[in-house]
Amino acid sequence: MLFSQLQFWVFFAGVFALYAVLPHRAQNRMLLVASYIFYGAWDWRFLGLIAFSTLVDYLVGARMGAENDPRRRKLLLSVSLLTNLGLLGVFKYLGFFVDSFVALSNAVGLPADPVVLGIVLPVGISFYTFQTLSYTIDIYRRDLKPCRDFLDFALFVAFFPQLVAGPIERARNLLPEIAQPRQLHWDAIGRGAVLCLVGLIKKIVIADAISPGVDAVYGNPNATGAEIIVATWLFAIQIYCDFSGYTDIARGVAKMLGFGLMRNFAQPYFATNPQEFWHRWHISLSTWLRDYLYISLGGNRGGRWHTYRNLMLTMVLGGFWHGAAWNFVLWGFYQGMLLSLHRALTGRRKGSKEGRRHGLGELLLRIATVALFFQVVCYGWLLFRAQSFEQIVTFTGRILTLNPADFGALAMPSVPVPALAGMLALLAWDLGTEARGNVRFYASWPLPFRAALYAVAIYLLAFGATTTPSAFIYFQF
C-alpha cells in the first residue's frame, strides 16, 4: 500500500476508527496487527523475517539488561549485530558481492559464470534493521533499559507509518510513547492532517510529475551537458519532495494517532556547507550514523587524520546502506570527501549558524553561498541517480565540456504546470519555515489567510495529482 493510493487511506480510516474507541492496551495490540497487515500487503513472505528479527532483539535486550559480565554482554550484542546485519547482507548485498566477484575474475583473466540468486529485497529492511540495532546498542551502552512487554516492542519495530522508509526512530523516544496512554486531540489531528496534505502535494503533484522528464534524460545516452544539468536539478527536487513527502505523511499519520515521530528534513537545500546539509537531510539516518558508527570508530578523537578516516568510513558505509551498487559507494565517498574537506578548512567550528540575524550584505552572501553549494549537492545526486559507472564518467565529461550555447537549444524536460505551481508553493513554505524556524509558522495567521492556504493546497492536490502514482524512491533501500 502506497501512501499516495486510496487503498492506504481506506486502510487508515479503518485503523483510526478502531483506535478511537479502544482502550490503551487494546490500541497497541490493534496497531501491531494493522502494522503486520500493512507490511504483509507488500509481500506476506517477509512477515516471518521481521518477526524473527523482533524476537531475537527482544530476547537479546532482555538478557543483556540482566547481565553484568562485560564479555557476556558483548557476546549478546554480537548475536544481535550478526543476526540483523547478516539478514541485511544476504537479502540486500549477497547478489552485489557475487556479481562483483564474477566481474573481477573476468577482468583478471579468470573466467567465472555469473550466479543468478533471485533474492527479493524485503521492503524497508534497511530501516527497521537500523531501528532494532539502536535498541540493543543502547541497552549495551546502558543508555536504555529493556522493554518488558514483547508486543509493545514488536509494535516499536513494525509501527506502520514509518516502517518501510523511516524516520529511523530510537527506542528511547518511541517506546515510551507506545507504553504510555494516549488520547486523541483535535489539534494534533489537524496538525497531522496538514502534514499529510503537504506530503501528498510533494509526492504526487511534484515528485511524480518530475520523474518522467528526469528518467528521459538519464535514459538518453546522447543527452547534452545542459540537459544533464537541468535534469539533475530536477532530480534534486524530485528526491527531496519524494522522501520528505513520505516523512511528512508518516509523521502526520502518527501524529493523528498521538505519536510524535522525529523530523527528518529541515530545508536541506538552504545549507551552505556539507556539515549543515547533513544536519538537515535525512536527519534520522545522519544522527544514527554519527551515534552508532562514527563515534564507535573514534569520532574526532585521536587527531585530524583519524577524524578524516572516520568521516570517510562512515559516509562510504552510509552510501552503501542506500543500495548494493558502486554508484552509491561513490556517492558516499563523495560525501565523506566533502565533510573531510570542510572540516580541514574550518576546524571544529560548527557549520550551521541557525538563528543568526543577517544584514543585507550577509543575506546576499548567504544566498550566493546556498546557490553555489546546491550545485555541489547536485553533483552528488548525479552520482546517486546514475545507472552505471560508465554513465557517471560520460555525464561528468559532458558537464565539464559544457558549451553555454547548449542552454539556448535546450529541450526542457516536461514539467506540468501544477508541478511548477507546487514547486513555487513549496519554496514559499520552506522559506517561511526557514525564516521563522518553525514548521507551523502559518498557525498565527488570521483564519481567512489560513483558509486560503488550505484551499490552495487542496486545489493543487485535487487537480495537480498525477494519474499514475509511483512507489517512493527510498522504498528500494
Model pLDDT for residues 80-128, shown as the tens digit of each residue? 999 999 988 888 766 555 555 445 555 555 555 555 545 567 778 888 9
- The reply to whether 282 belongs to the active site is no
Of 66-80, 271-285, 299-313, 350-364, the least confident: 350-364
Q: How far apart are CA 389 and CA 407, in angstroms?
A: 26
Q: How far apart are CA 230 and CA 381, in angstroms?
A: 12
Average pLDDT for residues 229-246, to the nearest whole number?
A: 93
Average pLDDT for residues 293-300, to the nearest whole number?
A: 90
Point out the catalytic residue in the list 279, 322, 342, 358.
322
3-state secondary structure 146-194: CCCCHHHHHHHHHCHHHCCCCCCCCHHHHHHHHHCCCCCCHHHHHHHHH
pLDDT at 320: 87
Of 76-90, 206-220, 307-321, 432-446, the least confident: 432-446
pLDDT at 348: 55
Average pLDDT for residues 405-434, to the nearest whole number?
A: 76
More confident residue, 404 or 378: 378
| Contact present, 365 and 191 (Cβ < 8 Å) | no
| 3-class SS of residue 267 | coil
Of 276-285, 422-431, 465-474, the least confident: 465-474
| Contact present, 314 and 293 (Cβ < 8 Å) | yes
Per-residue cell: 472: 517512493
pLDDT at 351: 45
pLDDT at 352: 47
| Contact present, 348 and 337 (Cβ < 8 Å) | no
Q: How far apart are CA 68 and CA 45, in angstroms?
A: 38
Residue (of 379, 347, 333) closest to 235 by Cα position:
379
pLDDT band (50, 70, 90) for residue 421: confident
More confident residue, 404 or 398: 398
| Contact present, 245 and 415 (Cβ < 8 Å) | no
What are the Cα distances from residue 60, in Å, to 52, 66, 77, 424? 12, 10, 7, 50
Looking up cell 493510493 gives: 5
Look up the pTM and report it.
0.88
DSSP string, 429-442: HHHHHHHHT-TTGG
Residue (of 136, 140, 134) closest to 68 by Cα position:
140
Cα dihedral 194, 200, 201, 206 sign: positive
Per-residue cell: 120: 527479493
Q: How far apart are CA 366 and CA 286, in angstroms?
A: 24
Model pLDDT for residues 323-363, shown as the tens digit of each residue? 778 889 999 999 999 999 999 998 755 544 444 555 788 88
Per-residue b/e over 319-335, b at no fewer than 16 CB within 10 Å? bbbbbbbbbbbbbbbbb
Of 54-68, 313-327, 402-416, the least confident: 402-416
Model pLDDT for residues 365-393, shown as the tens digit of each residue? 988 999 999 999 999 999 999 989 999 99
| Contact present, 36 and 45 (Cβ < 8 Å) | no
Of 88-102, 116-130, 203-217, 446-460, the least confident: 88-102
DSSP 115: -
pLDDT at 355: 46
Q: Which amino acid is at 438?
A: N
pLDDT at 395: 95
Question: Average model confidence (pLDDT) for the chain?
Answer: 86
Per-residue cell: 164: 518501510
| 3-class SS of residue 129 | helix
